[in-house]
Structure 1
Amino acid sequence: MSHFNHEWFDDIYHDWLEYSVRKDAVYCLYCYLFKDHNTNQGGGETFSTIGFKSWNKKGGLDKHIGLPNSIHNHSKKKCQDLLQQRWSIQFAFERQSNKLKHGYYMRLSASVDVVRLFISQGFAFRGHDEYKSSLSRGKFLEILSWYAKKCDKIRDYVLKHAPIETVKAIIEELNGDYFGLLVDESFDVSRKEQMAIIFHYIDKMGFVMERLIDIVHVEDTSASSLKEAIFNLLAQHSLSPLSVHGQCYDGASNMQGEINGLKMLIRRESKSAHSIHCFSHQLQITLVGVSKKCVEVGKLVVLISNIFNVLGSSFKRMDNLRDSQKSTIQVALDMGELRIGRGLNQQLGLSRACDTHWGSHYKSFNNFIIIIDERAKAMGHLEACQTFEIAFMLDLMRDILAITNELNKCLQKKEQDIANAMLLVEVAKRRLQVLRDDERDSLIAKVSTFCIKHDVLIPNFEEPYISSLRSLRKLANYTILHHYRVEVFCNIIDWQLQELNDRFYEVTTDLLHGIACLNPINSFSCFDIRKVMRMAELYPDDFDESNMIILQNQLTSYIVDVHERFSNLNGLCDLSKRLVQTKKHSNYPLIFNLVKLALLLLGATASIERAFSAMKFIKNDLRSEMSDDFFSGCLVPYLEKDVFDKISNDVIIKTFQDMKPRRIQL
């Protein structure tokens, strides 16, 4: 071993010659790896297994190398091919694999893009005939074929993943903070009871957010079943029931029950989960209450509903009604009574009123007044309406409902806070009072003009009033004018005001008084530290004794600091944003906490109604058999487009790849 020197062999043998110290012999690396053992050329097994001991004689090594076609040179060529990776089989497979991956990724991206389009627009995915021979394979396959020519069947996977990523982004935006619950149930086109769950919360920038989290099929609508479904959803997203700091429901007994209603079941889990009855729902119910007290209003509602049913049941009557509207509009245009412009003088439909459908009565009454004309009377469908009493009631109810309908629209805005809702209710009450005090005579004059135009008999207002419910022999001891001024006009408005006061009883509570004190409108004119402190006491889990002392000190400094700087704000939503923008939320954290709690008290369930409207669009008669998961997968991203649009295709594709082993892994 000591007399072997590798430098002797560095010239032409260094790349293949290997020396064994134990055997004191040399070997050929090429032949050892690649030589065919069935041949005896090139020294047989000497240089591959036995070992060449006469290594000091280079002639034997040269003889082993031999001619260009020798076994040694063939083995050397095989070794060089192995070392050249770009010519190897593995490299060829990898090169082919990268090409396949790129094509696979492009097809996945195309599929995800088309699915995004369909989700955002609420389109149906399946076609009636999806075979390749079909001329119309459905919207999804046709658009995807146009867009990418090929389609991997990942629609169901993307739809399953879309709501997961959307809700995940919403939960991240919530960031473990507390939130309010909006819950309601409604049946879909397949007669399944669906419960929509919306989170109402304040994001990091102080903006009020309302997000649909899920729509859940519930077989039982009892309060306990709804609570179980809600808590299961919270647990699924690692949220505690203690995070619920506000609730808003309609007037259903399973929601608003004071003993075993859903709001009380959740209050037992979270003392801070205060509940407000939906203002818009209460507002609509006031009309139902008035119609039960006033016979004339009840008769009017029934009469209009019956006439709309008669007209709407026949396409011939509807055609006659449309022709009548066209003729009336043309005459009014010729006389200069109507203006010409885009969106004006549109054809009116027959909108049927519903007791709890917001604004439906106002639309019905308004359309009914407009479509009364000579052609309609000649048709004989509206003969029962050609009386002064009906005309007076129509105009009166339209004026009253115009006030409450405006309030309805304001309450249905997404960023409407409870403090502004309370102010809007008070404004509606004042407007009704002004209508009662100042517009009695003007209404009678307006109705008289209407009757003259449509040849309706106007009664002699000085004659004694004869009620249709009394005997003709028993005349009332007041005139017809007194009847319309007092018995009808004043009483109906008084009943409406009484219903508003009775229904909106929450306005008198300490909680809403405290919220009103936080409202920055009119330079914090309602600010009262004592009432704000009383509001904080209603949240014992958030304000302990030490926090109450700190809060009182912060309130004293806060009002001095922001009284003039925040004087131009229009509500609690603006206040929340401004506190974050000016970093005051870190200076007054307890006050900012109170502002957020105030914003979590909801005044209307308009977002729930929007979800149910979208539900009817997503799940219709042609798509009535879709599964609950598929339905939720379509509805959540459809409503929360802004969140879903921020989720990249790569995130969706990664989750799609991780769901199970794929033929091609990216």
Structure 2
Amino acid sequence: MERYFKRKTQPEILEPSPKSPKNNESSSKQTCVDSMEINSETLQYDPGLCTPILSYHPNVRDQVRRAYLQNKPCQPKTHAFPYTNFGTKPRRFNPAWFTQFPNWLEYSTSQDAAYCLCCYLFKPDIGDQSGGDTFVGVGFKNWKCKKKLEIHVGRPNSSHNSAWRNCEALLNQKQHIETVISKQTDQDRIDYRTRLGASVGVSRILLQQGLPFRGHDESENSLNQGNFLEILRWLRHSNEGIKAVTLENAPENLKLTSPDIQNDISSSISYEIISAITSDINDSLFSILVDESRDKSSKEQMAIVLRFVDKGHVIERFVGIEHVVDTKASSLKLAIDDFFSRHGLSISKLHGQGYDGVSNMQALVAVAKKNSEIGDLFTMVSSVVNIVVASSKRRDILREKHTHVVLEALENNELSSGQGFGDHKRFIAGIAKEGSRYCECNELGQYMQRMRESGWESLFDEVSSFCDKNRIKIPSMDDSFTSGERPNRKAHPITNVHRYRVDLFTDVIDKQLTELNDRFTEKNTKLLLCVACLSPINSFFAFDKEKLMRLAQFYPSDFSEHDLELLKEQLENYIWDMTSNSEFVDLKGISDLAQKMVGTKKDHTYPLVYLLLTLALILPVATASVERVFSAMNIVKNTLRNRMGDLWMNDCLVAYIEKDIFNSIEDEAIMQWFQNMKTRRGQLF
């Protein structure tokens, strides 16, 4: 046969046809797709950027189609659709069309055009029938002519309806050839459901605990076949029904224990969790928190956390981790845009973005290290720590001496048993609570300014006390300063107090204040000061109507001119109502205020004021949520599991971190999604 047919290479098979229904511009942006494996997470769900379906290998086209159908049409209902001039009248896409055509109509935010999902997946190449390439390639943009959408649907035998019937047939596994050939009895379906339920149950345990699924040797003679198989074997011993249909009692080609099955189950769980999160957000405003870190295989991973308000409660949800080649702004933007289009989130509802929330505090430390003597101090301390940690004997000696110091301090009443780590945790919790007031940046600057002006004496007394306890000689502050180096004849002599107070203490604080002012612009500072006026502390002492009106003006897309007039009236009634209502006394922050307003239905009485509270609460502040993701990443993808793929790690992390949502998801929903991912040999019904 080789004499008569030339074998095509892999790039030739995957290269899109020049007559592809999709435009060449969008097709050129796509990378080649593996001929046998398709990762649904890497598919482009913006219809204006999708790879033409015919450019995929024939063996995986149905898998791609099924992924798109399961994800449902891309319908960003809350998107701010742009206007286009048709003659003298500006027109735009009408989101009400999504309700009229819910099963196939899609909208591309990148192309500002409408598309047809089923025609993209199954439209035959029959020329200009049913709109030609309008709803598949270039996109429909004639917003003044809605009738063309109905014309596109056409009669029962139209190209569109034929494509839609093919979509329904693809999702109906009872009509598949594999299902018809392998006729299964009712008992076979019951056994398959039991077997799949057992695999889902085992996956639940491992995902919730962040444990590996597979073992080094999973052969029948192995004494440790891995967590998945070992837990399944234990489960069989306690349940005769499961024992009768799993492992050696299951068909050889339908054991549901292979790595591919485990990946599909985990992917189904991750999808259901993220669907529940996006359902909770619905049409609410939200912000995004993003940070980057390297995993155990030295790959740059970008964690995404969504922050939104639900019934007055501030909620932060981890929704995924994306591998990025670099940390440039353009790369992060592309990854975020792809994530939004994949999960049907609208950019218009995004009202805040936070990147690397802890960098502000790290920057202040970095500024302090620029001083040569302080930098040397950090280097010296780091060296001491490395020397102590390198030896277990040194660590034991240090612990023993520290224990004696603590006991002596307790006996002398210099240290109470309530101090230490417990107080530290309460201090951190207090900082986190204060963070909800959004005043920490301004307060930090004011605190540093006060410390610069009057903090030297208290700091010097504290340092002197420490030196006395540890028998460290303190130089006289009135003596001339000597550095120990060769003196410079031209240098003006200075005292020790000038050296330590002016050249070190004041100089470092001045540099940190400059860094703080550079990072927080005047506009940001005004925004924070306006937000502080929402605080209910001390009977709404910080309330300022003018500043709150100015706060609303920061969000012109949410407050029209008419809304601003209504807000002015609502604020007058609001402050009188709040200060005269005993239920709003002793509130600790705007989060408590928002919850109390929802509980007393005041959010309906003052909707614009509650909108201000919501906008303030979703401001992306520095929180530990994103950092916890990286801590969990080091647990899930550790040194022994450093070859874990990006999709597998993402699915494991979503289930491991969002346990409360995971626990609320029924096994039936997971099994249904798993069943529809591919054509399965087993049948649930």
Q: Give TM class, smaller chain.
A: 0.5 to 0.7
Superposed CA RMSD in Å reads 3.3
Match of 1:571 among 578, 581, 589: 589
CA contact (8 A) 1:436 1:489 kept: no
Instruction: Output the CA distance in 2 between the equivalents of 1:593 and 1:587.
Output: 12
Structure 1 pair 475/201, CA: closer, same or farther in 2 (3 Å)?
A: same
Where does residue 299 of structure 1 map in the other structure? 376
Question: What amino acid maps onto 1:611 in structure 2?
Answer: V
SS at match of 2:366: helix
Where does residue 201 of structure 1 map in the other structure? 308
Displacement of 1:285 in angstroms is: 1.3
User: In terms of mean alpha carbon deviation, does 459-468 or 427-436 score higher?
Assistant: 427-436
Instruction: Output the CA distance in 2 between the equivalents of 1:341 and 1:601.
Output: 39
SS at match of 1:169: helix
Deviations 1:463-495 (A, max 9, x none): 322123551767864443554455444554555
Question: What amino acid maps onto 1:111 in structure 2?
Answer: S
Displacement of 1:129 in angstroms is: 0.6
Displacement of 1:217 in angstroms is: 1.4
Matched, 1:185 2:292: yes
Instruction: Output the CA distance in 2 between the equivalents of 1:324 and 1:309.
Output: 13
Deviations 1:485-514 (A, max 9, x none): 554445545555555455444586332222
CA contact (8 A) 2:532 2:542 kept: yes
Displacement of 1:145 in angstroms is: 0.8
CA contact (8 A) 2:467 2:473 kept: no
CA contact (8 A) 1:407 1:424 kept: no
Where does residue 421 of structure 1 map in the other structure? 440
Instruction: Output the CA distance in 2 between the equivalents of 1:432 and 1:207.
Output: 35
CA contact (8 A) 1:466 1:476 kept: no
Displacement of 1:554 in angstroms is: 1.0
CA contact (8 A) 1:193 1:218 kept: yes
Whichever of the two has the greater Rg, that structure is 1
Where does residue 633 of structure 2 map in the other structure? 615
Instruction: Output the CA distance in 1 between the equivalents of 2:409 and 2:653.
Output: 50
Displacement of 1:444 in angstroms is: 4.4
Instruction: Output the CA distance in 1 between the equivalents of 2:595 and 2:408.
Output: 52
Residue correspondence of structure 1 range 370-385 to structure 2 within 5 A: none
Instruction: Output the CA distance in 1 between the equivalents of 2:264 and 2:335.
Output: 24
Structure 1 pair 406/423, CA: closer, same or farther in 2 (3 Å)?
A: farther
Deviations 1:138-176 (A, max 9, x none): 112111210134353242221010110000000110012
Deviations 1:113-132 (A, max 9, x none): 22111111110111011111
Match of 1:520 among 536, 559, 562: 536
Displacement of 1:609 in angstroms is: 1.3
Instruction: Output the CA distance in 2 between the equivalents of 1:222 and 1:487.
Output: 37
Where does residue 585 of structure 1 map in the other structure? 603
Displacement of 1:106 in angstroms is: 3.0
Displacement of 1:657 in angstroms is: 2.4
Where does residue 682 of structure 2 map in the other structure? 663
Instruction: Output the CA distance in 2 between the equivalents of 1:601 and 1:345.
Output: 32
Matched, 1:446 2:446: no
Question: What amino acid maps onto 2:464 in structure 1?
Answer: A
CA contact (8 A) 1:507 1:513 kept: no
Instruction: Output the CA distance in 2 between the equivalents of 1:647 and 1:522.
Output: 43
Where does residue 465 of structure 1 map in the other structure? 481
CA contact (8 A) 1:517 1:527 kept: yes
Instruction: Output the CA distance in 2 between the equivalents of 1:564 and 1:663.
Output: 66
Displacement of 1:563 in angstroms is: 2.2
Instruction: Output the CA distance in 2 between the equivalents of 1:411 and 1:603.
Output: 12
Matched, 1:136 2:224: yes
Instruction: Output the CA distance in 2 between the equivalents of 1:580 and 1:596.
Output: 12
Displacement of 1:207 in angstroms is: 1.0
Where does residue 206 of structure 2 map in the other structure? 118
Question: What amino acid maps onto 1:129 in structure 2?
Answer: D
Instruction: Output the CA distance in 2 between the equivalents of 1:183 and 1:115.
Output: 28
CA contact (8 A) 2:219 2:225 kept: yes
Structure 2: segments with no counterpart, 5+ residues = 1-183, 237-242, 248-255
Where does residue 653 of structure 2 map in the other structure? 635
Residue correspondence of structure 1 range 407-418 to structure 2 within 5 A: 416-418=435-437
Residue correspondence of structure 1 range 470-619 to structure 2 within 5 A: 471=487, 477-481=493-497, 483-484=499-500, 487-493=503-509, 495-496=511-512, 499-505=515-521, 509-565=525-581, 566-619=584-637
Structure 1 pair 124/552, CA: closer, same or farther in 2 (3 Å)?
A: same
Instruction: Output the CA distance in 1 between the equivalents of 2:326 and 2:456.
Output: 50
Where does residue 236 of structure 1 map in the other structure? 342
TM-score by length of 1: 0.65
Aligned residue pairs: how many?
478
Residue correspondence of structure 1 range 28-39 to structure 2 within 5 A: none
Displacement of 1:344 in angstroms is: 9.7
Instruction: Output the CA distance in 1 between the equivalents of 2:526 and 2:500.
Output: 40
CA contact (8 A) 2:437 2:535 kept: no
Displacement of 1:288 in angstroms is: 1.5
SS at match of 1:306: helix
Structure 1: segments with no counterpart, 5+ residues = 1-95, 251-277, 347-401
CA contact (8 A) 2:439 2:529 kept: no
Displacement of 1:323 in angstroms is: 2.4
Where does residue 226 of structure 1 map in the other structure? 332
Instruction: Output the CA distance in 1 between the equivalents of 2:417 and 2:682.
Output: 57
Structure 1 pair 457/547, CA: closer, same or farther in 2 (3 Å)?
A: closer
Matched, 1:217 2:235: no
Instruction: Output the CA distance in 2 between the equivalents of 1:499 and 1:431.
Output: 17
Question: What amino acid maps onto 1:163 in structure 2?
Answer: S
CA contact (8 A) 1:536 1:594 kept: yes
Residue correspondence of structure 1 range 296-375 to structure 2 within 5 A: 296-312=373-389, 314-315=390-391, 318-327=392-401, 329-330=403-404, 333=407, 337=411
Displacement of 1:596 in angstroms is: 0.7
Instruction: Output the CA distance in 1 between the equivalents of 2:405 and 2:630.
Output: 41
Where does residue 19 of structure 2 map in the other structure? none
Instruction: Output the CA distance in 1 between the equivalents of 2:326 and 2:383.
Output: 35
Instruction: Output the CA distance in 2 between the equivalents of 1:616 and 1:335.
Output: 38
CA contact (8 A) 1:412 1:604 kept: no
Displacement of 1:182 in angstroms is: 0.9
CA contact (8 A) 1:506 1:512 kept: no
- Quote the sequence identity (%): 38
User: In terms of mean alpha carbon deviation, does 653-662 or 477-486 score higher?
Assistant: 477-486
User: In terms of mean alpha carbon deviation, does 481-490 or 618-627 score higher?
Assistant: 481-490
Question: What amino acid maps onto 1:664 in structure 2?
Answer: Q
Question: What amino acid maps onto 1:325 in structure 2?
Answer: R
Matched, 1:245 2:351: yes
CA contact (8 A) 1:523 1:564 kept: no
Structure 1 pair 451/336, CA: closer, same or farther in 2 (3 Å)?
A: closer
SS at match of 2:621: coil
Instruction: Output the CA distance in 2 between the equivalents of 1:164 and 1:335.
Output: 55
Structure 1 pair 345/231, CA: closer, same or farther in 2 (3 Å)?
A: closer
Instruction: Output the CA distance in 1 between the equivalents of 2:490 and 2:453.
Output: 35
Residue correspondence of structure 1 range 18-57 to structure 2 within 5 A: none
CA contact (8 A) 2:452 2:506 kept: no
Where does residue 196 of structure 2 map in the other structure? 108
CA contact (8 A) 2:268 2:670 kept: yes
Kindly report structure 1 stretches of 4+ aligned residues shifted beyond 6 Å: 338-346, 405-409, 472-476
